[in-house]
Structure 1
Amino acid sequence: MEVQKHPSIEEASTFTIWSVNSWITPILSFLQDGRLPQDVEKARKVKKRAAKFMILNDTLYKRGFSMPYLKYVDEEEAKYILEEIHEGVYSDHASPRSLVEVEALSAITKVKIHSFVWKNIICRFGIPWMIISDNGQQFNN
């Protein structure tokens, strides 16, 4: 019996994020291989945009100041993620039961409350079944 300590064939490294050309293709080519478009102006734009991205463990991320890395997903994966959020295992998380909206007001008036409810609740989420407040006496008018 012979014990092999090293693979007998070389492992080819592969890194596939996308299957068709998209806006991210030139950026990914630059980050992986240092390849830039022939056009000088396009090359400058690719370098500038690529500074906002990084490849970490064979995954493309967008980075930003004081925010977490954002994983790049293609259109098909993005649709799946949105479906899961709105209809899948996380659908209860986005339900109206978990809605909490607050805003600091210098004075509580009927007009300001009306404006807040319209702008921050109705326009964003639709008409709620009920609104629960801990300051009921202030909203009697």
Structure 2
Amino acid sequence: MDTIIKFLSAGELPSKRHEARNLRVRAALYALVEGVLYKKSFSLPYLRCLRPSESVYALQEVHEGICGQHLEGRTLAQKILRQRYYWPTMMKDAIEFTRRCDKCQKFTPISHTPVAPLTLVVSPIPFSMWGMDLLGPFPMASGQRRFVVVAIDYFTKWTEAESLATITSAKCEDFFWKNVVCRFGVPRALVVDNGK
């Protein structure tokens, strides 16, 4: 940042040609106002550039100061950015700062995200792919029916359902034959969870 300040205030350029060109390109993103360096921003007013010692103080105050909320790294950096402060390694420094915070390490809830990313199952043709599941037991209805068998088309989200008194493979096959195959034709795929 010192080289940018020298260039903007006195027009000093490095002796090497490619370094001078890089400095000019980088300096176009900054402005020097009354001796203070600011980063230009499209959506926000100018952001005041902080030196390393000032950036550590800003991280401490926002993270654990009077109104500190012990935010995680990215959120901490975004909050400092909303306060109109900036330095080039802001995101990396905020993440490292929160990793060194003892309170955050002890009391931050652990994320239980799935190990494998979820994949979207898409059906290109209506009524070609159905999902089927059993629900219940529910409170007793007429005819001692306590369970529901449900089939849903993946493309249109059309739903077919029927109540059952007991769950048997014959009743599930009969439901699928009457409500899906006879009405919409034989599907290309049927997704079930095998009773889990």
TM-score (norm 1): 0.48
Relative contact order higher in (CA < 8 Å, ≥ 6 apart): 2
